[in-house]
Amino acid sequence: MQMTERGLLALAGHEGVVPAPYRDSTGTWTFGIGHTVAAGPPDPAQIARGMPADLDAGICEAFRVFRADIATYEAEVRAAVTVPLAPHEFDALVSFHYNTGGIARAALTRHLNAGDQEAAAQAFLNWRRPAEIMPRREAERDLFRHGRYPGGTIPVWSVDRTGRVDFSRPIRRLAQSEALALLQPAKPHTPVTPTPTGWLARLATFFSTLIRRA
């Protein structure tokens, strides 16, 4: 089981995009869409500080790392939950785990595996620190319980060289269609064989005629 496109968009919307290293609310160096070294490379503490000269390239890199991270969190949710899940329930659980890393020890997982859906839904709200996380927890609970996906654009935030994010105003807002395009795996480059033109084309036709007559 994997996250749906709507689930990925909801998660990216909760996290926002910071296309350079920043310190989260716990002081942990983070990059892009909530990526920390706990999820694997790259180590945000080793990435060049300050906003990238090419903002588009920085946003693309944030989504590339996000795609790689998601697979790990999806696998950990599948390992922790032993009961069947609807797609929206799985989306909510991966969003919760991506933010907390707590799926294996959370009370909501114990309630869920015991068959108590309502207790599991309410237990999302047990994870309430820092205080500003509560709107996200409520949104994850509502997604788990009702399949209610948040909408809207995905904010891109700027950050200074000390890792301080400026949350006063996004520097860009990504439409969901833009974010979906960035979530698609990069296609391998296929070299294009040039088509002969001009005198090269006439020469190729001449030799082709000679071969057919031989």
Supply the residues annotated as catalytic: 15, 24
Q: Where are the alpha helices (DSSP H) in 49-197?
A: 55-80, 87-100, 107-113, 117-123, 134-146, 176-183
Contact, 186 vs 64, CB < 8 A? yes
φ, ψ of residue 127 to 5 degrees: the values are -95, 85
| Burial grade of 169 (CB within 10 A; 0-12, 13-18, 19 or more) | exposed
β-bridge pairing 29-32 and 165-166: unpaired
Nearest to 34 by CA among 46, 51, 52, 19: 19
What whole-number distance in Å separates Cα of residue 15 and Cα of residue 167? 12
What whole-number distance in Å separates Cα of residue 149 and Cα of residue 192? 42
Q: Which residue has the tokens 């990059």?
A: 31
